Structure 1
């Protein structure tokens, strides 16, 4: 048995995977050390606060929202609901990407940064409109993918039915 095969069997992935994981941990450690060189207590409080906010507020909120979307897009036990069963990921993915963009850019989207124009010489007034356009484009692209996939699936089902007759 060759050395890479034995390594893959014992580790479960290629040596390149291990190298990339170690490099990412090294980069994260370096960034953490650089971050803690400034206001150590403030950074620690921010991390603890962010973890508590996520676990106690955001996780229940988006879990409840996800359950509501699943209930909306899933056919009930009886034939009374005309809504077909659709993958919830067509809503999850654009909502997640839009949420991450809002999380990263919220001070500019909500116009909470007065010194942005002074520091960059760029206007800070277009971010809300751009974020809304990106969010609309994400949901529109997701809807387009859903329509195309549904059309292909129904076409394949029609062809299969006509082939069996």
Structure 2
């Protein structure tokens, strides 16, 4: 067969995967992310107002669960209602879901950008321009341009996918069509 050392390494990896459920690299990445989260949490709570930070986290969790998830679900239902073919199992439903995903992804990214930068997009706080030297009126326009760019890139990506799938579905001319 192969080198006995290679076989042993393969069997050890296989046994690890059978017990853990994933590769050792997954476990290392998971432990590294926990370490980074712990470091960030200790740095964040090390400030002068740890209670305010904890309240902010609790408020963000409540806002996410009670406001953002229902809004996203309602928007998704509206999208499904606008594309009735998305409810079936036919190839048309697969295409409709593909279109839905090309709407969902840029909307999610745009919403995430708005969530992170909403104080600046809606109007920076007083004293912002004096502290940074940047005018606050540009952020809403920049966010709208980024949003438009995300939707345009998604539309181009969808169009290229449709064209690529359409090219695969067109049968090549065979000998029987060449004689005509």
Residue 35 (structure 2) aligned to one of 18, 26, 30: 26
Residue 155 (structure 2) aligned to one of 105, 122, 143: 143
Match of residue 52 from structure 1 = 62
Match of residue 124 from structure 2 = 112
Distance 1:40 1:48 in 2: 12
User: Given the two structures, how large is their TM-score scaled by the length of structure 2?
Assistant: 0.77
| Residues 74 and 86, structure 1, Cα contact 8 Å, conserved in 2 | no
| Residues 108 and 127, structure 1, Cα contact 8 Å, conserved in 2 | yes
Q: Structure 2 matches for 1:1-165, cutoff 5 A? A: 1-2=8-9, 3-37=12-46, 38-75=48-85, 85-87=96-98, 88-159=100-171
Total equivalences in the alignment:
158
Q: What does the per-residue CA deviation read over 1:50-102, in whole Å, with 9 as the maximum and x for residues that have no partner?
A: 1111111111111010111122123277xxxxxx7352110000001101111
Could you say what secondary structure the match of 2:137 adopts? coil
Distance 1:110 1:128 in 2: 7
How many Å apart are 1:9 and its aligned residue? 2.8
Could you say what secondary structure the match of 2:171 adopts? helix
User: Given the two structures, how large is their TM-score scaled by the length of structure 1?
Assistant: 0.83
Distance 1:152 1:74, change over 3 A: farther
How many Å apart are 1:112 and its aligned residue? 2.9
Distance 2:150 2:134 in 1: 26
| Residues 114 and 121, structure 2, Cα contact 8 Å, conserved in 1 | yes
Moved more, 36-45 or 94-103: 36-45
Name which one, 1 or 2, has greater alpha-carbon Rg: 2
Distance 1:86 1:23, change over 3 A: closer
Gapped regions of structure 2 (runs ≥ 5): 1-7, 89-94
